Structure 1
Amino acid sequence: MQFVDVKRDGAVTTVTLNRPDVMNAINIEMHHELQAAFDAFAVDPDQYVCIVTGAGERAFCAGSDLKAAAESGLPPEYPHSGYAGLIERFDCPKPFIAAVNGVALGGGFEVALACDIIVASDKASFGLPEPLVGAVALGGGLHRLARQIPLKQAMATILASRRVSAADGLRMGFVNEVVPASDLAAATQCWVDDILRASPVSVRTSKAVVHRGLQEDSVETAMRHQKHYPEFIAWRASEDIKEGPRAFAEKCKPVWTGR
């Protein structure tokens, strides 16, 4: 790949947006490379967690490459999973962690919001400045931000095109942890290690049940319907559901198969 770096370490895939000279802004080719990288992660049964980050020290992702878009004169053609191959990837129950090492603006912020966990450097900042260039944050940013933090805070950030610091993101609730820039990789790895201690089937099922349940009209309805969710059914038939009690009874570490 030309603009995306993909590395696999055990059960972990790290996808790095790799255009540091333009603050990892996303052009058309990069959109499709990201789609391919996330597709490969999603279908690989031995890959359990995906880390998304940016190359260099300045930026996670500054959003769309507006200069490239202006030069092409063509409307963007996003891949089938939407912007960056991620923001409309609603069918992947595996965890995504955004390791935000710098600015995450526009589409970059939308990519981070599409992840399940955001770990941010204290140098990171976030924003949806699309209105400043006559655009609208239609890559999920408007919808996700308004659902992930209090509405007044979301509207203030969106309507005023304000940039939010990592510390404010933590206070508002869309950032999980803020660490010094030098500690970002280690802090992200701690989250990965915690996830990998658990059954991959249980983790996937938990994520899926949360998202499916949020689409129900009440907690009562969600609890009544959850046994019919496909991920719940797969978990009930999995090897991991037997391995957990066996390891507990024998006082040993479980050996998860993820199946």
Structure 2
Amino acid sequence: MALIETSTVGHVGYITLNRPQALNALNEEMDQLLGAAWDKFETESGIWVIVLRANGERAFCAGGDMHAPPTGSSGLSFGGGITGIGGRLRPISKPVICATYGHVLGLGFEIAMCADIIVAATTSRFALPEARAGIIDHCGVVHRAVRQLPHHVAMAMILAGEPLDAAQATHYGLVNEVVAPDCLEHATTRWADKLLACSPLAARAAKEAAIAGLEGSLTEALSGTYPGIRRYAETRDRTEAIDAWSGRRKPHWAGT
């Protein structure tokens, strides 16, 4: 049984956590396989959108496996490199959708927050159990929590292990949509279709600029220059955008 499954449908690459008997908790093998999956879809030009999901009924991901936790031995940070915890960060330039349900804990919560779009089943329960369990190490998850949630909400999660249900997560802007569990796949596909309607190269350029701009003040972000946007100006998609606008038709993106 593959602990991390990958598949493609058109321009969408799917990465599936597949260790439901352990609540999809990440061990060293899963972490390395997840890193390979991110690398696979990041480098395939035909993949425009990446979806992270999980198998099982109880948990999207219960965090790191306490019996055999990821070690970062590959040199990448945990979560296959996307979290920045414990090693080298692997930036993902393409839009990432995360579909959650059940327990979304610790490292699992961190991975979900690395996505650009989060679609949550009503059963989703987001929590940081580190303080309550008395176990904390790199604690990268707290830095994303205080940036993506209101300060006091994040601190209640960090200091008291206070969970957020799906409705609360939506209220605080953590997730984009909450749906019934049996609608999660459909809703995720709908979000993927929204992203596929956009120029994949324009979306990647915009994501690069948005994330890079967060590293400084608003004034610095506004006055900065971004390589992705400069590169986009010379692409077929940019030409197609102008032609489609002039012809009053829908654009046909090439992604090149």
State whether TM-score is above 0.5.
yes
Q: TM-score, normalised by structure 1?
A: 0.92
- Alignment correspondent of 1:76: 71
Matched pairs, number:
251
- Alignment correspondent of 1:41: 41
Does residue 132 of structure 1 match 2:152?
Answer: no
- Alignment correspondent of 1:72: none
2:209 aligned partner, one-letter code: V
CA offsets per residue over residues 128-150 of structure 1, 9 Å max, x none?
Answer: 10123322263531111101111
Q: Any conservation in 1 of the 2:77–2:90 contact (CA below 8 Å)?
A: no
1:87 aligned partner, one-letter code: T
Do the aligned partners of residues 139 and 119 (structure 1) sit closer, same or farther apart at CA in structure 2, a change above 3 Å counting?
A: farther
Task: Give the secondary-structure state (helix, strand or coil) at the position aligned to 1:34.
Answer: helix
Do the aligned partners of residues 109 and 137 (structure 1) sit closer, same or farther apart at CA in structure 2, a change above 3 Å counting?
A: farther
Task: Give the secondary-structure state (helix, strand or coil) at the position aligned to 2:30.
Answer: helix
- Identity over aligned residues, as a percent? 37
Structure 2 Cα separation of the partners of residues 230 and 2 of structure 1: 37
Deviation at 1:77, TM superposition (A): 2.8
CA offsets per residue over residues 153-209 of structure 1, 9 Å max, x none?
Answer: 111111101221111111122111110001001111111111110101110011111
Q: Any conservation in 1 of the 2:72–2:78 contact (CA below 8 Å)?
A: no
1:238 aligned partner, one-letter code: T
Do the aligned partners of residues 137 and 16 (structure 1) sit closer, same or farther apart at CA in structure 2, a change above 3 Å counting?
A: farther
Matches within 5 A, 1:62-101: 62-69=62-69, 76-85=71-80, 86-88=82-84, 89=89, 91-101=91-101
- Alignment correspondent of 1:17: 17
Q: TM-score, normalised by structure 2?
A: 0.93
Aligned-residue CA RMSD in angstroms? 1.6
- Alignment correspondent of 1:248: 245
Q: Any conservation in 2 of the 1:26–1:64 contact (CA below 8 Å)?
A: yes
Q: Any conservation in 1 of the 2:24–2:62 contact (CA below 8 Å)?
A: yes
Does residue 106 of structure 1 match 2:106?
Answer: yes
Structure 2 Cα separation of the partners of residues 43 and 184 of structure 1: 27
Deviation at 1:43, TM superposition (A): 0.7
Structure 2 Cα separation of the partners of residues 223 and 47 of structure 1: 30
1:246 aligned partner, one-letter code: D
Deviation at 1:232, TM superposition (A): 1.4
Q: Any conservation in 2 of the 1:122–1:166 contact (CA below 8 Å)?
A: yes
Greater share of residues in helix: 1
Q: Which structure 2 segments of 5+ residues have no match?
A: none
Do the aligned partners of residues 137 and 236 (structure 1) sit closer, same or farther apart at CA in structure 2, a change above 3 Å counting?
A: farther
Structure 1 Cα separation of the partners of residues 93 and 193 of structure 2: 18
Do the aligned partners of residues 14 and 203 (structure 1) sit closer, same or farther apart at CA in structure 2, a change above 3 Å counting?
A: same
